[in-house]
DNA sequence: CCGGCTTCGCAAACGGTGGTCGCGAACGAG
DNA sequence: CTCGTTCGCGACCACCGTTTGCGAAGCCGG
């Protein structure tokens, strides 16, 4: 009695064959999300994208949430894993930068991976690659998996910040108000040097976090 | 023309006085969320909690999302900030552990802080405290704010993992399947020592990440 | 070639959602 | 007491996720 989408057989063994496939529906949903955002991914909208009825989708998917899981795994298939070079730190950073590219192509992914980090076939590939890169590292498996979780969360958070237009404006507006109010002296004392667009802060942050999280000399 | 909730005056200056207050409504919404989860926080449900009509809430709040922002800031008021001791690392870890307590009291908070990290008055207090603890630290302001963001994301992610029952089960089910399949050798080779419930991994992880992110010798 | 079994595709329907609107009632200011 | 303004409310809109019943479609055994 499998409950995971990826363990449930896609098509029935007998009877009339289905006209569409799970990945076809997933691709349509991804197209809708890329175009109009995650909240536009309604069953009716995706069905319309495929020229079919809304109820039909439930022949392929048990729930809307399941469809979102499928979408997330679908786009994590966009990684192009390179063979480990022997420098685990740079390998992990390179993979994380690929993750950021994926997030840039699919802005809706960040919210999903943060709130419902499900794992499908492509997610398993990512875990496998991560563990392969760290194969020689003395840390124990738990620490390695924690590192992967932290990496994913961090990249998603940075990606979110990149295209958070409205929210950031409102937040900056309020923080400016607080700074001007005079309470909160340390906030008032903040100076904001114009961020250098040529300098990418993410690799540095990741290197620092990873060296803290996976010290080369000890596994615990 | 303020757009942030916290800059918009709560009550009109003239006319019939409002019967309820913004914080009253926020408290009711928090009560509903604590009891039945974030998805139960509908305008009708919150209105019923207050014994009023659904449309009435829009006199106090522009949108449901705004109400969720108010809820998040409401519960970040539960911090009890201690004066800096001089040991910034331990001060930050202690604050993060308070954050985890808040997350444990309000499980719906994690999703919110990860996907829509808005900042209100109590959020400003947190920023202020964070900067006060790091006042003597040589890192520049940008790095300190990044550290706060990373800290919040990490604690929220850990808190999410603590009460993610269903999802974790399904995920574990699928990962076990992958491990048994034999592809993905590193996943198959994973050994899962039973986690020691007496040992809390969060402080260690935070210390490692923070020492990586805020090295004592350099500000960049 | 056909009959039967099973699944498919679909449209209608259900309960619920966020949000809008117009109106009568309530209140403070003058 | 009157006026100006806001409040509380309930009906209403469009849409949502999901269920259900049914006719049509397709493969399999004969």
Mutation pick from B165, B178, B213 vs chain A, by most beta carbons of A within 10 Å, is: B178
**Contact (CB<8Å) B146/A111:** no
CB-count burial class (<10 Å; 0-12, 13-18, 19+) for A76: buried
Contact A187 B149 (CB under 8 A): no
Percent of chain A's residues with pLDDT above 90: 76
Which of A119, A201, A213 lies nearest to residue B209, judging by beta carbons?
Answer: A213
Read off the pLDDT of residues B166-211 as tens digits, 9 standing for 90 and up.
788 889 899 999 999 999 999 999 987 777 778 888 999 999 999 9
- Interface contact B120-A174, CB threshold 8 A: yes
pLDDT digits (tens, 9 = 90+) for A106-133: 999 999 998 888 889 999 999 999 999 9
E runs forming strands in chain A:
none
Kindly tell me if the per-residue pLDDT of B217 is higher than 70: no
How many CB pairs lie under 8 A apart between chains A and B? 150
Mean pLDDT of B60-69: 96
Task: State yes or no: pLDDT of A8 exceeds 50.
Answer: yes
Is the separation of the CB atoms in B80 and B111 below 8 Å?
no
Above 50 in pLDDT, residue A140? yes
Is the predicted pLDDT of residue A220 greater than 60, yes or no?
no
This prediction has a pTM of 0.93
pLDDT at A210: 95
Distance CA A133, CA A85 (A): 8
3-state secondary structure of B181: helix
The answer, yes or no, to whether residue A150 has pLDDT greater than 80, is yes
Which residues of chain A have a CB within 8 Å of the CB of B137? none
pLDDT at B123 over 90: yes
Q: Does position A40 have pLDDT exceeding 90, yes or no?
A: yes
Q: Least CA distance to A175: which residue of chain B?
A: B124
pLDDT on residue B62: 95
The verdict on a CB contact (< 8 Å) between A184 and B2 is no
As given in the structure block, the two tokens for residue B129 are: 């405290």
pLDDT-above-70 percentage for chain B: 97
Query: Could you report the per-residue pLDDT of A167-218, keeping only the tens digit for each?
Result: 888 899 999 999 999 999 999 999 877 777 778 989 999 999 999 889 886 4
pLDDT digits 0-9 by tens, B35-56: 999 999 999 999 999 999 999 9
Q: Hey, which residues 5-44 in chain B have their CB within 8 Å of chain A?
A: 6-7
- Among left, alpha and beta (phi > 0; psi -120 to 50; other), residue B137 is beta
Footprint of strand D on the protein (CB under 7 A): A 14-17, 40-45, 54-55, 58, 63-65; B 11-12, 14-20, 52-56, 59
Whether the per-residue pLDDT at A2 is higher than 70: the answer is no
Average per-residue pLDDT for chain B: 92
Q: For residue B55, count CB atoms less than 10 angstroms from its CB and return exposed for 0-12, middle for 13-18, buried for 19 or more.
A: exposed
The per-residue pLDDT for A198 is 78
DSSP A134: T
Helices A121-133 and B165-181, axial angle in degrees (round to 10): 70
Contact assessment for residue A80 and residue A122, using Cβ atoms and an 8 Å cutoff: no
pLDDT at residue B220, as a whole number? 41
- What nucleotide is nearest B57 when CA is compared to C1'? D8
Q: Chain B within 8 Å of A178 (Cβ-Cβ)? A: yes
Q: Residue B20 CA to D9 C1' — how many Å?
A: 15
At residue A90, does pLDDT exceed 60?
A: yes
Residues of chain B with pLDDT > 90, as a percent, come to: 77
Q: Give the span between the Cα atoms of A143 and B219, in whole angstroms.
A: 28
Chain C bases closer than 7 angstroms to a protein Cβ? 5-13, 16-22, 25-29
- Higher confidence at residue A203 or residue B220? A203
pLDDT value for A219? 38
Over the stretch B72-112, which tens digit does the pLDDT of each residue have? 999 999 999 999 999 999 999 999 999 999 999 999 999 99
Q: Do A146 and B201 touch (CB under 8 A)?
A: yes
pLDDT of B115 > 80? The answer is: yes
Least confident of A6-20, A105-119, A137-151, B147-161: A6-20
Q: Which of A58-72, B4-18, B178-192 has the highest mean pLDDT?
A: A58-72
pLDDT band at residue A18 under the 50/70/90 scheme: confident
């Amino acid at each position: 009695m499998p409950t995971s989408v990826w363990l449930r057989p896609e098509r029935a063994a007998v009877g009339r064959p289905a006209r569409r496939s799970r990945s076809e529906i997933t691709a349509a949903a991804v197209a809708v999300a890329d175009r109009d955002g995650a909240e536009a991914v309604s069953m009716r909208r995706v069905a319309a994208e495929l020229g079919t009825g809304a109820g039909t989708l439930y022949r392929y998917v048990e729930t809307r949430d399941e469809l979102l899981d499928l979408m997330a795994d679908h786009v994590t298939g966009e990684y192009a894993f390179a063979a480990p070079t022997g420098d685990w730190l740079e390998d992990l950073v390179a993979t994380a930068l690929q993750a950021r590219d994926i997030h840039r192509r699919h802005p809706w992914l960040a919210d999903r991976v943060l709130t419902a980090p499900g794992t499908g076939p492509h997610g398993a590939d990512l875990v496998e690659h991560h563990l392969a890169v760290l194969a020689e590292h003395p840390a124990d498996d738990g620490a390695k998996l924690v590192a992967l979780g932290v990496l994913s969360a961090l990249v998603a958070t940075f990606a979110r910040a990149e295209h958070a237009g409205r929210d950031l404006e409102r937040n900056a507006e309020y923080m400016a108000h607080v700074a001007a109010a005079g309470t909160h002296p340390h906030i008032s004392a903040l100076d904001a040097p114009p961020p250098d667009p040529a300098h990418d802060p993410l690799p540095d942050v990741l290197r620092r976090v990873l060296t803290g999280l996976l010290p080369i000399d000890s596994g615990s």
